[in-house]
Amino acid sequence: MLREPLKVVALLTVLVGCIALNVVAKDAQPLADDPQLEERVMAVSRELRCLVCQNETLADSRADLAVDLRNQIREQMKAGKSDKEVVEFVTARYGDFVLYRPPIRPSTYLLWFGPFVLLLGALVFLFRYVRRRRELILETALTPTERRRAEDLLRSDSKRETA
C-alpha cells in the first residue's frame, strides 16, 4: 500500500526525464535546401574514410569530425567547387588514406598490381609443375620378364573371376 505513491513518483520521474531528454537531444542536421546538392555531398562522403572510426565512411559516421567534414564539403560545393576539388581538399589535409579507392601511383603499385603478379607467378609455377610431371610419366616398352609377369597376373585374376 505504501509502495503505491512511490510508484507514481517513479513513473513521473521517468516521464519528466524523457521530456527533458527530448529537449536536450540534438537537432537533426539541417538538410540542405537543395536535395541535389545533398546527394552530391553524400556521394563524395561515401568515398571517404572517417579517420576517427576507420572502418566507416564519412557518410555513415556520426563522429564530430565526420559531421564537420560533411559540413565543410557541403559549404565548398555550395561555393561552386567540383567533386574532385573537394576530394583534393580533404586528401591535402588527411592524406590518401582517407580514399576508399587509392590512387594508382608508384607507392601503390604493389597494392594494385601485386595480386596480378601473384596470379602470374602461380600460373607459371603450375605450368612448369604439370610439364615436369608429364615428363616423369614416359611410356617405355615392357621388358619380356615384365610382360610375362603381367600376363600371369591377368590370368590369375580371370581365373579367380571364373572360379
Partner 1 sequence: MTRYLIPLVLFIGLVVFLAIGLGRDPHEVPSPLINKPAPAFRLAQLKEPSKTFSPEEMRGKVWLLNVWASWCISCRDEHPLLLEYARSGAVPIYGLNYRDKREDALSWLGELGDPYVLSASDLDARVGMDYGVYGAPESYLIDRNGVIRFKQIGPITPDVWEKQILPLARELNKGTQ
Interacting residues with partner 1 (CB under 8 A)? 51-52, 54, 64-65, 68-69, 72, 91-97
Least distance to partner 1, CB of residue 82, Å: 20
Nearer to partner 1, 46 or 93 (CB): 93
Q: Which of 48, 148, 138, 60 is nearest to 98 (CA)?
A: 48
What is the closest distance, in whole angstroms, from the C-beta atom of residue 110 to partner 1 in the complex?
13
We find the least distance from the C-beta atom of residue 95 to partner 1, in angstroms, to be: 4
Residues 6 or more apart whose Cβ sits within 8 Å of residue 100 = 46, 47, 48, 49, 57
Grid coordinates of 16: 519528466
Decide whether 92 or 163 has the Cβ nearer to partner 1: 92
Cβ-based nearer residue to partner 1, 40 or 51: 51
* Neighbouring C-beta atoms of residue 47, cutoff 10 Å: 16
Shortest spacing between CB 106 and partner 1, in angstroms: 15
User: 57 vs 72, which CB is nearer to partner 1?
Assistant: 72
| CA separation for the pair 86, 104 (Å, rounded) | 19
- The secondary structure of 109-162 as a DSSP string is HHHHHHHHHHHHHHHHHHHHHHHHHHHHS---PPPHHHHHHHHHHHHHHHHHHH
H or E element that contains 20: helix 3-24
Q: Closest CB to partner 1 among 110 and 153? A: 110
Residue 7: CB minimum distance to partner 1, A? 38
